[in-house]
Amino acid sequence: MLYLVGLGLSDETDITVKGLEVVKRASRVYLEAYTSILLVNQEVLESYYGRSIMIADREMVESNSDEILRDADKEDVAFCVVGDPFGATTHTDLVLRARELKIPVSTVPNASIMSGIGACGLQLYNFGQTVSMVFFTDTWKPASFYDRIKENRSIGLHTLVLVDIKVKEQSLENMARGRLIYEPPRYMTVGQCASQMLEIEEEKQEGVYTKDSLAIGAARVGGKTEKFVSGTLEELCNQDEALGPPLHSLVLLGKRTHELEHDFAREFAVDKEKWDRIWKADYAQS
Amino acid sequence: MLYLVGLGLSDETDITVKGLEVVKRASRVYLEAYTSILLVNQEVLESYYGRSIMIADREMVESNSDEILRDADKEDVAFCVVGDPFGATTHTDLVLRARELKIPVSTVPNASIMSGIGACGLQLYNFGQTVSMVFFTDTWKPASFYDRIKENRSIGLHTLVLVDIKVKEQSLENMARGRLIYEPPRYMTVGQCASQMLEIEEEKQEGVYTKDSLAIGAARVGGKTEKFVSGTLEELCNQDEALGPPLHSLVLLGKRTHELEHDFAREFAVDKEKWDRIWKADYAQS
């Protein structure tokens, strides 16, 4: 059996009891470690689970999945994923490949950022599609997120923006020379995300949002040091210190809101009076 | 401390290790048991957790929350919620009340149907807002879900439809006479949901969807007996036997799809050739 085991959002104790039983008895244990990370490292997990873990990087999952699936028709293989196993496309692919090989698959769900973000006080019912934000370079500024946000806002919905992480990336030079030297990991912050959003609005000028649009920055959702900061996009450009270490996410508010959402998120506001003023003018339902 | 503890979707072993530790050491343990249910009963949970559990019904949570919060400034109270604690508005209210009373609050996230539904093979990125479907009566057929689905479909997105459960409901007669006699619990099925959807389309005639629109029925998501059936809304009106016991949910597909979604969900199709035909005509991205 191939088990897809969700690890949840934060540390080694976020695994479910069911998931822990699977990990303890599986023949091999993989950890998918390129679409998200926990707040603890591999050694902590190995010690807690009492198992050694093989790191499955993008190359292995996307090009060498048969190694992960080896003998999974006869024994149990645990493929562990931060959050919930069905957050990312890649894992759908793995399941389809398992089906081709007649390997049975079982899923152990867990918290995902897509539901855990509810802890910021915005109602999950009021969220539209989720978007991703990648690190811009001088020459590459993919802006498809902008159109998706436009769609969500056209019907009043909030947008969860998941931000980029770069692990095990090679510099162009090292890649060209075939040197297996990797850059230090990089995790996008709420500040970087907010300023890239404003950069694209500046360029497109479609008024999908402005520097005064309300948003919530989230850090380490579901962890003991979980932190939210709410304010305008402009304010959130400068709140990385308050938010602290990765992982970050950002929610851009839609205009279909509930009073409870105002009250709950006001607690986290950079400037509570400004929050109230903009909310009353632009977000309050009549 | 008030702990909001997510229990996950299925049975007693879906609690996280962190959540189980909280439940074991809390002074009092409540179970919110009116917005969703697990597939196991209270006795199984009590025996597994080694704790007695107080059932918190709607009346208690909404009108008597101070009893739940009693002494939570001095001791630990665990408020357990099926799925993730922030799925429903009610729990936001409880947190706001705790803040007023200066009671610290901590959340233990878990799988929610809003992310667990990803196991049906549709990408979570392609979902719009979630809607709810209540049991219609002869005189009460609330159809706000229809406008929400229209919005989602106008931008190509899938819609998760969460279906009604009725627990601890009184008949009008018993309520009028003040008799605390409760009706047997009722859980809406995918078949009831699909036929109520078609009833409203028939009435509104806005062409938001038709009897040939593709959808996926889901039962007991995240559980060992998890089951999906995909097909047209008309087909799903008659698949309750195949789906089996509660809880059910339904996803109506949007037209912005990925080929992987087709392949994954085809496996569950009532009629695979029909699935392919309709997908090719109406859902495939050019």
Residue A269 is predicted with a pLDDT of 98
Chain B CB contacts of A130 under 8 Å are 124-125
Flag whether A163 is marked binding: yes
How far does A91 lie from chain B, in Å, by closest CA?
10
Cα–Cα dist A272/B37, whole Å: 38
* Structure letter (DSSP) for residue B282: I
| Residues B84-97, mean pLDDT to the nearest whole number | 84
What are the angstrom distances between the C-alpha of A72 and each of A75, A202, B35, B103, B134? 5, 51, 38, 49, 42
Flag whether A84 is marked binding: yes
Q: A72: which 2 tokens? A: 């999974």
What part of B 87-146 touches A (C-beta under 8 Å)? 87, 89, 92-93, 95-96, 99, 106-112, 114-116, 118-119, 121, 123-132
How far does A180 lie from chain B, in Å, by closest CA?
32
Would you place residue A113 in the very low, low, confident or very high pLDDT band (cuts 50, 70, 90)?
very high
Least confident piece of the model among A27-41, A142-156, A247-261, B18-32: A27-41
Closest Cα partner for A95 from A54, A61, A56?
A61
Q: Flag whether pLDDT at A104 surpasses 70.
A: yes
Closest Cα partner for B10 from B260, B219, B282?
B219
Q: Flag whether pLDDT at A99 surpasses 60.
A: yes
| Residues B36-59, mean pLDDT to the nearest whole number | 90
Residue A183 is predicted with a pLDDT of 83
Residue A242 is predicted with a pLDDT of 98
Chain B CB contacts of A12 under 8 Å are 17
Residue A89 is predicted with a pLDDT of 65
| Residues B94-117, mean pLDDT to the nearest whole number | 94
| Residues A52-69, mean pLDDT to the nearest whole number | 91
Determine contact, residues A236/A189, Cβ cutoff 8 Å. Answer: no
Percent above pLDDT 90 for chain B: 82
Per DSSP, the three-state class of B43 is helix
Q: Flag whether pLDDT at A90 surpasses 80.
A: no
What chain B residue is nearest to A254 in terms of C-alpha separation? B129
Determine contact, residues A228/A220, Cβ cutoff 8 Å. Answer: no
Residue A286 is predicted with a pLDDT of 57
Chain B CB contacts of A226 under 8 Å are 107
Cα–Cα dist B69/B103, whole Å: 8
Which of B18, B221, B260 is opposite residue A92, by nearest beta carbon?
B260
A66 near B CB under 8 A: no
Please give the model's pTM, rounded to 2 decimal places.
Answer: 0.94
Cα–Cα dist B86/B105, whole Å: 13
Residue A226 is predicted with a pLDDT of 95
Task: Establish how many alpha carbons lie within 13 A of residue B251's alpha carbon, considering only the half-sphere containing its beta carbon.
Answer: 29
Q: Which residues contact B20 (CB under 8 A, 6 or more apart)?
A: A17, B49
ipTM of model: 0.93
What part of B 160-219 touches A (C-beta under 8 Å)? none
Cα–Cα dist B60/B62, whole Å: 6
Q: Choose, out of B115, B216, B266, B267, the residue to mutate when testing the contact with A (most A CBs < 10 Å).
A: B115
Q: Flag whether pLDDT at A249 surpasses 80.
A: yes
Cα–Cα dist A122/A132, whole Å: 19
Q: Choose, out of B16, B155, B216, the residue to mutate when testing the contact with A (most A CBs < 10 Å).
A: B16
Closest Cα partner for A127 from A87, A158, A99, A96?
A158
- CB within 8 Å: A123 and B89: yes
pLDDT tens string A221-246: 999 999 999 999 999 999 999 999 99
Cα–Cα dist B199/B99, whole Å: 44
Would you place residue A181 in the very low, low, confident or very high pLDDT band (cuts 50, 70, 90)?
confident
pLDDT tens string A145-166: 999 999 999 999 999 999 999 8
- CB within 8 Å: B111 and A84: yes
Closest Cα partner for B75 from B3, B138, B130, B18?
B3
Cα–Cα dist A20/A16, whole Å: 6
Chain B CB contacts of A118 under 8 Å are 84-87, 112
Give bridge partners of residue A249 from the DSSP assignment. Answer: A162, A218
Residue A239 is predicted with a pLDDT of 98
Q: Flag whether pLDDT at B168 surpasses 80.
A: no
pLDDT tens string B206-243: 999 999 999 999 999 999 999 999 999 999 999 999 99
Cα–Cα dist A273/A277, whole Å: 6
| Residues A189-211, mean pLDDT to the nearest whole number | 98
- CB within 8 Å: B17 and A14: yes
Chain B CB contacts of A87 under 8 Å are 115, 118, 124
Least confident piece of the model among A167-176, A198-207, B225-234: A167-176
Would you place residue B89 in the very low, low, confident or very high pLDDT band (cuts 50, 70, 90)?
low
Q: Flag whether pLDDT at A88 surpasses 70.
A: no
Largest CA distance in chain B: 63
Which of B109, B112, B119 is opposite residue A86, by nearest beta carbon?
B119
Flag whether A233 is marked binding: no
Percent above pLDDT 70 for chain B: 99
Largest CA distance in chain A: 63
Residue B251 is predicted with a pLDDT of 98
Would you place residue B179 in the very low, low, confident or very high pLDDT band (cuts 50, 70, 90)?
confident
Q: Flag whether pLDDT at A168 surpasses 80.
A: no
Would you place residue B286 in the very low, low, confident or very high pLDDT band (cuts 50, 70, 90)?
low
A172 vs B136, higher pLDDT:
B136
What chain B residue is nearest to A124 in terms of C-alpha separation? B87
How far does A131 lie from chain B, in Å, by closest CA?
7
Closest Cα partner for B119 from A117, A84, A69?
A84
Q: Flag whether pLDDT at A91 surpasses 80.
A: yes
Flag whether A231 is marked binding: no
Tell me chain A's radius of gyration from C-alpha atoms: 20
- CB within 8 Å: A16 and B93: no
Flag whether A112 is marked binding: yes
| Residues B18-27, mean pLDDT to the nearest whole number | 97
